[in-house]
C-alpha cells in the first residue's frame, strides 16, 4: 500500500444526502391552521351574522365539501367530473327520506302514514324503497354508502376501459341529466319537481329552533374541517403521489406494475362520498332537496367553483366554492337583473388572469414575499459586514 493509498483510506467518507424530516411543528401546521379557522368560524361569525346569514354560510360550506372532493378527483387525479350533483343528490335524498318519515311518524293527522305526494299518486302503502329509511342509522349510512357504491361501480366500469378526458366528463354529465329525469319521472317515490321539504324534527329535536340551527351550523363547520384534513392526508400520502403519477403518465404507471383503474376508482369514490355527505348536510340547513339543486347545472357550478379556487389545491377549491357562492348571493341581492353577467365576468377574469385560481395567486404572492424577505436578509447581512466600523488602534491605523 502506498502513502497516497493510506491518505485516501484515512479520508472521512462523504456525507450521504438525506431528506430532512419535517419537525413536529411543521407536521401540525396544517391541522393547527384548520383548528384556528374552525374556532374563528364558531366564535366570531355568530357575533356579526344573524341566523339567516349563518345558514347561508353553512350552505357555502356544504358546497366547499363537494369542491374538496372534486379537487382530489380532478386536480390530483385528472378526472374532470361534471356530474357530482348526482352524488350530492343521493346523499341529500337519503337523509330527506328519513326526515320525511320522521315527520309523518310524529303527525297523528298524516293520512295513512304516507307523504302527501304518495297519497296524491294513489299509493296506499309505503314503498319498499322507503321502509329502511325509517331508521336513522340506515339513513346516515346510506348518505355515504349509496354515492360511494354508485361511484365505485361507475368508476370501475369506465376506468378499466381507459375512458378519460372529455369522454369521462361527458359521461358524467349524461349521468347527471339521467338522474334528474329519473327523479322527476318517479313522482310517487321522490316528490317529482317539488322534491322533499318540511323537515321539522330529527331524532326528536325541533330543527327550526335556534338551538338546533346552531348545532347544525357547528356540525357543518366541523365536518368540513374533518373532510379537508382527511383529503389532505390522502393527497399527501404515497397513494396521493401515485394518483398524481396516474394523472401525468397513466401508461407509465401501468408499465411499472400498478393498476390505474383501482387508483382512479378509489379517488373518484372518495370524492362521491364527500359529495353525499355535503348533500345530507344541505338538507337540514336549507330545509329542502329538489331536482333543481342537482343535475347538470349545479354540477357545472361545482366545477367552476373549483376552477376559481384552484383545482390543484384542496384549500383553494374550498375557498373558491365559498367565494363564488357568496358573490352569487351578493350580486343577486344588489343587482337583481344582471347578477348572472357579473358572475360570468368574475369567472372569466379569474380564469384569464389566474389559470391556477385563487390558490395560484396566493402561492405567487407568498413566493414573492419569501424571495423579497430572503433578499433583504442577505443584503442586510452583507451591508452590515461592509458598513461595520473598522477597529483602529490608538494612532488611528486599522488593526
pLDDT tens for residues 370-398? 888 888 877 655 544 444 444 444 444 44
Pick from 132, 116, 131, 134: nearest CA to 188: 116
pLDDT of 105-150, one tens digit each? 877 666 667 888 888 888 888 888 899 998 989 999 999 999 999 9
- Residue ranges of alpha helices (H) inside 72-192 are 84-105, 116-120, 136-159, 166-185, 187-190
Q: What is the dihedral of CA 181, 182, 186, 192, to 10 degrees?
A: -50
Pick from 341, 288, 363, 304: nearest CA to 63: 304
**Confidence check: pLDDT of 25 > 70:** no
Rama region for 68: left / alpha / beta (φ>0; ψ in -120 to 50; rest): alpha
**Confidence check: pLDDT of 327 > 60:** yes
3-state secondary structure of 50: coil
Pick from 287, 272, 265, 169: nearest CA to 227: 272
What are the two backbone dihedrals, phi and then psi, of residue 202, each rounded to the nearest 5 degrees?
A: -145, 120
**Confidence (pLDDT) at 24:** 67
**Confidence (pLDDT) at 380:** 55
How much is the mean pLDDT over the chain? Answer: 83
CA distance 228 to 243: 17
Amino acid at each position: 500500500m502506498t502513502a497516497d493509498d493510506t491518505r485516501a483510506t484515512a479520508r472521512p467518507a462523504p456525507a450521504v444526502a438525506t431528506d430532512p424530516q419535517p419537525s413536529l411543528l411543521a407536521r401540525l401546521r396544517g391541522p393547527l391552521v384548520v383548528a384556528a379557522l374552525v374556532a374563528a368560524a364558531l366564535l366570531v361569525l355568530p357575533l356579526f351574522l344573524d341566523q339567516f346569514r349563518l345558514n347561508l354560510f353553512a350552505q357555502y360550506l356544504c358546497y366547499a365539501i363537494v369542491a374538496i372532493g372534486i379537487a382530489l378527483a380532478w386536480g390530483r387525479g385528472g378526472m374532470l367530473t361534471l356530474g357530482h350533483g348526482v352524488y350530492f343528490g343521493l346523499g341529500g335524498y337519503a337523509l330527506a327520506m328519513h326526515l320525511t318519515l320522521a315527520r309523518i311518524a310524529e303527525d297523528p293527522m298524516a293520512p295513512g302514514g304516507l307523504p302527501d305526494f304518495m297519497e296524491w299518486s294513489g299509493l296506499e302503502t309505503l314503498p319498499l324503497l322507503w321502509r329502511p329509511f325509517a331508521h336513522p342509522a340506515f339513513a346516515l349510512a346510506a348518505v355515504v354508502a349509496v354515492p360511494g357504491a354508485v361511484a365505485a361501480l361507475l368508476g370501475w366500469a369506465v376506468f378499466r376501459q381507459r375512458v378519460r378526458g372529455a369522454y369521462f366528463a361527458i359521461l358524467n354529465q349524461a349521468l347527471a341529466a339521467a338522474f334528474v329525469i329519473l327523479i322527476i319521472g318517479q313522482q310517487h317515490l321522490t316528490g317529482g319537481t317539488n322534491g322533499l321539504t318540511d323537515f321539522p324534527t330529527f331524532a326528536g329535536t325541533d330543527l327550526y329552533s335556534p338551538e338546533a340551527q346552531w348545532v347544525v351550523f357547528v356540525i357543518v363547520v366541523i365536518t368540513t374541517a374533518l373532510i379537508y384534513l382527511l383529503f389532505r392526508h390522502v393527497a399527501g400520502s404515497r397513494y396521493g403521489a401515485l394518483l398524481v403519477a396516474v394523472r401525468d403518465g397513466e401508461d407509465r404507471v401501468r408499465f411499472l406494475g400498478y393498476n390505474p383503474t383501482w387508483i382512479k376508482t378509489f379517488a373518484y369514490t372518495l370524492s362521491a362520498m364527500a359529495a353525499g355527505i355535503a348533500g345530507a348536510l344541505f338538507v337540514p340547513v336549507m330545509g329542502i332537496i329538489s331536482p333543481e339543486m342537482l343535475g347538470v347545472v349545479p354540477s357545472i357550478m361545482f366545477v367552476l367553483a373549483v376552477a376559481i379556487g384552484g383545482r390543484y389545491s384542496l384549500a383553494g377549491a374550498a375557498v373558491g366554492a365559498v367565494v363564488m357562492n357568496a358573490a352569487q348571493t351578493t350580486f343577486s341581492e344588489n343587482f337583481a337583473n344582471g347578477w348572472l353577467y357579473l358572475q360570468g365576468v368574475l369567472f372569466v377574469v379569474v380564469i384569464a388572469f389566474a389559470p391556477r385560481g385563487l390558490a395560484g395567486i396566493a402561492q405567487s404572492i407568498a413566493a414573492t414575499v419569501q424571495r423579497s424577505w430572503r433578499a433583504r436578509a442577505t443584503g442586510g447581512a452583507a451591508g452590515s459586514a461592509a458598513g461595520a466600523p473598522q477597529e483602529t488602534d490608538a494612532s488611528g491605523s486599522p488593526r
